[in-house]
Amino acid sequence: MPNRLAPLCLALLLGLAISLARAQDFPSKTIRVVVPGPPGSSLDAAGRELSIDLQERWNVPMVVEHRPGAGSGIGADHVAKSAPDGYTWLIAPYNVLTLNQHLYNNPVHPLKEFTPVTTIASVPFLLVVHPDVPANSVSELIAYAKANPGKLNYGTSGPGSAQHLAAELLKSMAKVDIQHVSYKGAANAITDLVAGRIQVYIGANNSLLPHIRAGKLRALGSAGARRGSLTADIPTIAEGGVPGYRLPTWTAVVLPGGAPADVVAKIHAGVVQTLNKPEVRERLAKQGIEVETRSPEELAALIRSEYDMHGKLVKEAGIKAN
């Protein structure tokens, strides 16, 4: 019996030694942080904060790569096809991990092709309108839209994006007809919104607050389950006239599927340490980004739960990626 166990024990010890060596060696080369959105977005802000801090602490280059488009699907697909060695990260908006599979024919499947690391932030969404829209509340916007079916346009950063889901959910629950205008990136949509070429938008508050404060846009409601810490004076959409409306808006760090557990643990520890720095939290808060971390196991459970929830929502609301 001892002779039979010896090879097994040796294999286990060898595996443990390899794992420890890999964890100690990581990182030893450039890490690519893929942001599936344009520069200046909330995804970009979070990715840059992590990159700036960790490359100094780990003494390796960290390069932020922007790969926007297809509801963040282009960047997600690129990361999913990368080597699962810990050197390619995705700053993933929740729609990549919980929604896109339900909207597209051949998207990356979040439950199979990514390794969860941690949530990093929550970016509250706001419902805003151009000042020319005769509405000062959610209920007034709904009344105007019902009286003028098809007259209002809403913009998004692309089919299947978080903005798309937010607006289609509002349309479905409020039973209004507002037309979709798709853009390649939130910045382009907001530019046309401020110019009055589109009238309605639901998107990240960090991109909208400067325009709201300047009087160029009017905020009607917050899309979360509760009011945002930076926008406590803005009622939720549910409070404003659409009971039950809630849109999760978290962002996470994920790796390609099959990443080694020891490398995941080291990345998780590094990311959480960075995000727990008061100065990092303060800089992100000024941009409307609230730090929110989880363990890899907690993130995996969150993805599974909200993946199922969004599948049901998409089916019931008849939401299409177009």
Kindly write down the DSSP assignment for every residue of 16-32, as one continuous string.
HHHHHHHHHH---S-EE
In the block, tokens 């439950």 appear at 111
Across 288-305, average pLDDT: 94
DSSP codes of every residue in 220-236: EEE-SSS--TT-TTSPB
More confident residue, 74 or 28: 28
Q: Which of 70, 112, 73, 111 has its CA nearest to residue 92?
A: 73
Domains and CATH numbers, the chain: 30-122+249-317 (3.40.190.150), 125-240 (3.40.190.10)
103-127 pLDDT tens trace: 776 667 888 899 999 999 988 899 9
What is the distance between the alpha carbons of residues 237 and 220, in angstroms, rounded to a whole number? 8
Mean pLDDT across 276-292: 90
74 CB-contact burial (10 Å; exposed 0-12 / middle 13-18 / buried 19+):
middle
**What average pLDDT does this structure show over 68-95?**
92
* Mean of pLDDT values over 8-30: 63
Averaged pLDDT for residues 140-165: 91
Enumerate residues 6+ apart whose C-beta is below 8 A from 63.
30, 31, 32, 33, 51
pLDDT score, position 48: 95
pLDDT-derived band at 203, boundaries 50, 70, 90: very high
203 phi, psi to nearest 5 deg: -155, -175
The pLDDT value recorded for residue 274 is 97
The pLDDT, as a whole number, for residue 105 is 63
* Per-residue confidence (pLDDT) for residue 19, from 0 to 100: 46
> Does the pLDDT value for residue 264 go beyond 50?
yes
Termini Cα distance of the chain: 64
More confident of the two residues 173 and 69? 173
- What is the per-residue pLDDT for 174? 94
- pTM score of the predicted model: 0.77
Average pLDDT of every residue of the chain: 88
Q: Which pLDDT value is given to residue 37? A: 85
Q: What is the pLDDT of residues 39-80, one digit of tens each?
A: 888 889 999 999 999 999 999 999 999 998 877 888 999 999
The per-residue pLDDT for 21 is 47
Comparing CA positions, the residue from 91, 122, 141, 95 lying closest to residue 230 is 122
Angle (CA) 67 228 215, round 5°: 80
pLDDT of residue 20: 47
Most confident option among 19-33, 37-51, 159-173, 256-270 = 256-270
pLDDT in tens, 211-262: 999 999 999 999 988 887 778 899 999 999 999 898 888 999 999 999 999 9
Residue 145 and residue 176 in contact, taking contact as beta carbons nearer than 8 Å: yes
| Unique residue bearing structure tokens 């557990």 | 261
